[in-house]
């Protein structure tokens, strides 16, 4: 039961039936919902199964209300509520969730690009246990594993820096460049590139998923960084946004609404992937304790980017309730409403 109106209990079942929901929250019985009544719906929606209510700030609640009040009369009528129900409430209560495990590969854990030797000194192997636990206990609609999959002459490898001409604006010459430096290749067009130790070369031991990582039958592997001339941090796109992987197509085919993302490295490929997921329009969640990174300052920047763009950062123990629709976050509800607004504007 949910207490949403000064002690008046509302059964969660009303959030599963459109007519019951509309009648329950139409408190004055006038056949439409005013803003205060809509806020009661938000109060019932954005909570967890332990009774904790997540506040949706009034300005955001009003913004969402205005999206569904299509004729701007200050009320949501039954027709407007039908759209709200089908495209917003149903998604919040019954999301379709994908799990994306990013680059949990040997080279990043104990190989040539072992992230424990980077600035943050984080142990990449620590992501395996929480990821495996999620795979064993959470009923995701679909699971994806991404793999860095570089050809030997890849542009990001420090030992390949002499293979391509540098632009005059490059802050470091080829002779002085070291791993983790950023150079500018001549192109055309000129291209900034962070240099890394040789890693995840196609068909090598370093490119294999870690032996202790659980790989589910029926899961999809997505290979990235396969073009010699451009790096690819995000699992959606290469860094120049020239070529996409098949991930977007796979997500659309499965009707995915929510993506849970984790892996290696927090501030590089995981961060780039969730940034793209948010930009595309997905309700996106980063699993913090199942991710490890390279640089502490960059990890904090990644977190700030996620939160600024209406994503959510959680620990793995919170994921099951969210996937099952028992823990419903207002940030994700607001994100969905903004995407609906953009889609309606594109149709006009």
Active site residues: 103, 224, 269
Expressed in angstroms, the distance from the first to the final Cα of the chain is 40
- For the chain, the residue count is 348
> CA-to-CA distance for 311 and 291, rounded, in angstroms?
16
> CA-to-CA distance for 262 and 285, rounded, in angstroms?
9
Which sign does the torsion angle of CA 321, 43, 303, 345 carry? positive
> CA-to-CA distance for 33 and 22, rounded, in angstroms?
8
CB 245 within 8 A of CB 223: yes
For 132, 161, 167, 189, 211, the CA distances from 175, given in Å and listed in that order, are 43, 9, 14, 22, 37
Reference 250, options 103, 110, 116, 98; nearest CA is 98
- Residue 94 DSSP one-character state: S
């Amino acid at each position: 039961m949910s207490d949403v109106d000064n002690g008046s209990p509302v059964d969660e079942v009303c959030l599963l039936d459109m007519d019951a929901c509309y009648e329950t929250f139409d408190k004055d019985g006038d056949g439409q919902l005013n803003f205060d009544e809509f806020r009661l719906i938000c109060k019932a929606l954005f909570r967890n199964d332990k009774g904790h209510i997540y506040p949706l700030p009034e300005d955001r609640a009003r913004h969402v209300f205005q999206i569904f009040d299509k004729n701007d009369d200050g009320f949501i009528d039954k027709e407007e509520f039908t759209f709200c129900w089908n495209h917003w409430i149903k998604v919040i209560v019954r999301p379709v969730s994908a799990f994306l495990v990013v680059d949990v590969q040997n080279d990043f854990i104990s190989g040539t690009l072992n992230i424990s030797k980077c600035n943050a000194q984080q142990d990449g192997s620590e992501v395996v246990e929480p990821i495996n636990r999620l795979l064993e206990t959470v009923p995701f609609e679909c699971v994806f594993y991404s793999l860095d999959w570089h050809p030997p002459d890849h542009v990001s490898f420090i030992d390949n820096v002499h293979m391509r001409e540098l632009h005059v604006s490059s802050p470091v010459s080829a002779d002085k460049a070291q791993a983790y430096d950023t150079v500018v290749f001549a192109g055309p067009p000129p291209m900034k590139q962070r240099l890394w130790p040789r890693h995840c070369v196609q068909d090598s031991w370093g490119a294999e998923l870690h032996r202790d990582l659980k790989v589910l039958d029926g899961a999809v592997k997505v290979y990235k960084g396969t073009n010699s001339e451009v790096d690819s941090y995000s699992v959606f796109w290469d860094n120049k946004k020239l070529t996409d992987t098949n991930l977007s197509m796979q997500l659309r085919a499965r009707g995915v609404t929510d993506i849970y993302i984790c892996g290696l490295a927090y501030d590089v490929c995981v961060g780039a992937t969730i940034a793209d997921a948010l930009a595309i329009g997905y309700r996106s969640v980063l699993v913090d304790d199942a991710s490890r990174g390279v640089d502490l300052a960059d990890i904090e920047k990644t977190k700030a980017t996620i939160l600024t763009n209406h994503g959510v950062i959680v620990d793995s123990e919170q994921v099951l309730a969210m996937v099952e629709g028992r823990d419903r976050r207002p940030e994700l509800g607001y994100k969905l409403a903004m995407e609906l607004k953009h889609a309606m504007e594109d149709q006009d």
